Structure 1
Amino acid sequence: MSVRVLPAFVAVVLGGLLATALLVPYVAVSFRRRGTLGAGHVMLAGAALVYGLALLAYVLLPLPHADAAFCTRDAWLVEPQLRPLQFLRDIRNEQAGSGFHALMASPAVQQVAFNVVLFLPFGALVRYLGKRSVILTTAAGAVVSLLIEVTQLTGIWGAYPCPYRLFDVDDLLANSAGAMLGALAAPLLRLVPGQRVTAPPSAPRPVTTRRRLLGMVCDVLVVQLTGSALVMGVSAVLLLAGVPFGGPGELDWPGAAGDVVGWWLPTVLFLFVVPLAGDGATIGQKVVLLRPLGPDGRAPSRRRRLVRATVGSGGILVLQGIGGVGSVLAFLLAVATVVAAWRTDGHRGLSGIAAGVQVVDNRSSVASTATADTARAEN
């Protein structure tokens, strides 16, 4: 894999993993700031995430084996290039032949063009998403570029015995120019579809299939990410305490105990305890501003909440945790849940039918009345 392709590959892979970890808080913030999610906002946020990681990867990767011999052999990297516009002299010295094609074939031209293009997304995204002026965006690009150059000059702040990338003042100029051009082109990002918001954030939105499924996805992610964090946390504590585990004659971890901590505990907590102790909504439903209501227009009874949790995401994950035939049943229940969320009246879903409840927007007048009734009942 080439030097320029490797950082992009790393950025896409890490970006996908990080986007998965950040999906739930991003959806929650989006629904509260804009009242909805919006495919365009998701695309731009994902692009900003992947671009930030790509920028970091291009600064650091590939990591060489930099020892004393490396520092001696590539001593030219130690001395920074501090002559502004040195690239013009390099172009004149390196160009072979005349004409546009010969100019574009010059490594010096390609290097300058690459550094300009590298910061075009920075300028566009910072100005558009951060709502900053062209001047402030260009200044931010210059500061970030300077930080990159200093990181290269110091060998990643002392992590290496010498620089393995050249500090070049022309890179700083090219990056700043790229940030400025990107900032000037930022209005073009308005053309990305799926960004239009037609109502204030406090206005209720329709309960749709996508919204119901998004809440379910958030529920599953909360369970899995929490479980993974718990397992890694316990493993770290055991390592720090010097407790051997995982091998013959050692502590059986994660093993069955890991299944309890990493799967059953978050499943029961988030998909059963939270709905039963609250208004019946799971974490995922709260994220997308949905809540269930009983036939009387109030919060469902605990019996209805338990039925809803058992037939819904809670039952799916319980069956999945059992394994074997349970996994097959979990798959069938998941398919039935998706189809029911799409086809049922009001998108109440299979669990809603079984429990006799409907799902409404948490900002609607019906939900507000139910919340007030629940508060009076509790007091």
Structure 2
Amino acid sequence: MSTRVEPAVWAALLMSMAAVVLFVPYIAVRYRRRGELGLGNMALAFAGPLYGLALFFYVFAPFPRLRSDFCAAIGVRRPQLVPFHFLHDMAKSATGNGPMAMLHNPALTQVLLNVALFIPLGMFVRYMFRRSVPVTAAIGLGVSLLIETTQLTGDWFIYPCPYRLFDVDDLIANGLGGLVGALAAPLLSAVPGQRVHAEPGEARPITWRRRLLASVCDLLSFGFLYVPMVAASAALMWIWQGGLYASGALPYWQFFFNSNVERVGFWVPWLVLTVAIPLAGSGASLGQHIVKLRAATTDGRRPDVKARLVRGLTGVGGLLLLNHFGSLSGPVIVLAAVSLIALFKTSRHRGFSYVCARLTLTDSREPSGHEASTDRMQ
């Protein structure tokens, strides 16, 4: 794999994993602060850390293996402290005259790459953190100085000698890139899906995108509860069977495949998400709460216990339950298809679970039936 492509691949992989873990908390925070998601804001929130990871891997990777003859194998890398020394390098590596020959000069290409590398940093800092042009340029220069110093010290003395070159021209080029990015930052306002259409506390229309987002949050929430529950159950069983002291005890990781551990890992989060949360609230799922949705009767009142349980058992909770029993893959597909079709075809995008429970779906920022009647009496 190319050394220029590999950092981007590693950054994309790590950011994708982080995005899955942080997806539900991010949605919850955005709905609390904005009252809606905003795809443009989400894209920028993903792109910023992705750029940071790519920058990290590009600057420091690959990490060489430490060995006794490390410095001899790497060779002496003296810092380049002469400003604009790249002009001398360009003259040495010139292969012809004219603009095209200059563009293909490797010394100039390296400088332009270092400028381009810090343009996104300047754009993100100024646009997303609302910093001025001078402050943004100073931050870009400071980040570049931190990188160059890290390279000069062998990743802060982890390595006995530097494996990357400290170059003052890189510092100049990176600082220029940060300045260019600060000046170009207003271009990010053209990314669609950033404008807030109403106050955070104002009710929004119930769309199929919002309903689907709630279902995704429910599925991810189950996974977030399942993994630590399995890990904790496996640890308790391992300790119970003498894993801390007994010689010849099974290794901890093998308890992950224990049937009792898997049952606890499934049933505890399933009961929390499918039974406890709907019964404790209006009947809506955790994901629906996150995107500010509420279950209600047709006259706007809080559903009874039966309706809340039916809603929980015929939604994502029902899909998870059927999927838990491997022999029921057919019903899982049927329920998933019916639920998806109902999400588009039912009024207010209530979906299959709300039809079964004979409930309607409202924005949680709308007054409930009791609150509305009280307001009318006053």
Closer/same/farther in 2, CA of residues 64 and 209 from structure 1, 3 Å limit: same
Q: What secondary structure is seen at the aligned counterpart in 2 of 1:324?
A: helix
Q: Which runs of 5+ in 2 are unaligned?
A: none
> Quick check: 1:264–1:318 contact (8 Å CA) kept in 2?
no
Pairwise CA RMSD of aligned residues?
2.5
CA distance in 2, matches of 1:253, 1:372: 54
1:169 to 2:171 alignment: no
Change in 2 beyond 3 A, CA 1:245/1:223: farther
Deviations, residues 270-311 of structure 1 (Å, cap 9, x unaligned): 222111122322221111011111234122111111000000
Within 2, Cα distance between the matches of 1:340 and 1:73?
A: 65
- 8 Å contact kept, 1:121–1:179: yes
Q: Tell me, what secondary structure is at the counterpart of 1:57? A: helix
Q: Which residue does 1:47 correspond to in 2?
A: 47
Change (3 A) 1:347 1:242: farther
**How many residue pairs end up in the alignment?**
369
Q: Distance in 2 between matches of 1:103 and 1:297?
A: 72
- The structure 2 residue matched to 1:286, chosen from 282, 289, 292, is 289
* TM-score (normalizing by structure 1): 0.90
Trace 1:71-220 onto structure 2 (pairs within 5 A): 71-77=71-77, 79-220=78-219
Moved more, 46-55 or 159-168: 159-168
- Which one-letter code corresponds to 1:187 in the other structure? P
Q: Could you say what secondary structure the match of 2:268 adopts?
A: helix
Alignment gaps of 5+ in structure 1: 374-379
Report the TM-score when normalising by structure 2: 0.90
1-side partners of 2:369 and 2:138: how far apart?
Answer: 47
Q: Say if 1:224 and 1:263, in contact at 8 Å, map to a contact too.
A: no
User: How many Å separate the matches in 2 of 1:206 and 1:368?
Assistant: 21
Cα deviation, residue 216, structure 1: 0.7
Cα distance in 2 for partners of 1:236, 1:146 equals 45
C-alpha change, 1:235 and 1:156, in structure 2 (3 Å) is farther
CA 1:121 to 1:241, structure 2 compared with 1: closer, same or farther past 3 Å? farther
Which deviates further from its counterpart, 62-71 or 344-353?
Answer: 62-71
Deviation at 1:22, TM superposition (A): 1.0
Q: Deviations over 1:235-290 (max 9, x none)?
A: 6786994785469xx96433323423433221221222111122322221111011
* C-alpha deviation, 1:119, in angstroms: 0.9
Instruction: Provide the residue aligned with 2:307 in structure 1.
Output: 304
Identity %: 45
Question: In 1, Cα distance between the equivalents of 2:44 and 2:16?
Answer: 14
- In 1, Cα distance between the equivalents of 2:370 and 2:76? 69
What secondary structure is seen at the aligned counterpart in 1 of 2:69? Answer: helix
CA 1:140/1:246 → structure 2, altered by over 3 Å: closer, same or farther? same
> Kindly tell me: are residues 316 and 122 of structure 1, through their superposed partners in 2, closer, same or farther at Cα, counting changes over 3 Å?
same
1:334 paired residue number: 336
Alignment-derived partner of residue 322 in structure 2: 319
Q: 1:32 — aligned with what?
A: 32
- The amino acid across from 2:161 in the alignment is C
Q: Once the two structures are superposed, what CA deviation does each residue of 1:141-186 show, in whole Å capped at 9, x if it has no partner?
A: 1222222222222222233232221122221221111111011111
Matched to 1:225, the amino acid is F
1:224–1:262 Cα contact (<8 Å) kept: no
Show CA shifts across 1:175-205 (max 9, x none).
1111110111111111112222221111110
Matched, 1:353 2:355: yes
2:65 maps to 1:62:
no
Q: Would you say the 8 A contact 2:256–2:262 is kept in 1?
A: no
- More moved, 156-165 vs 348-357: 156-165
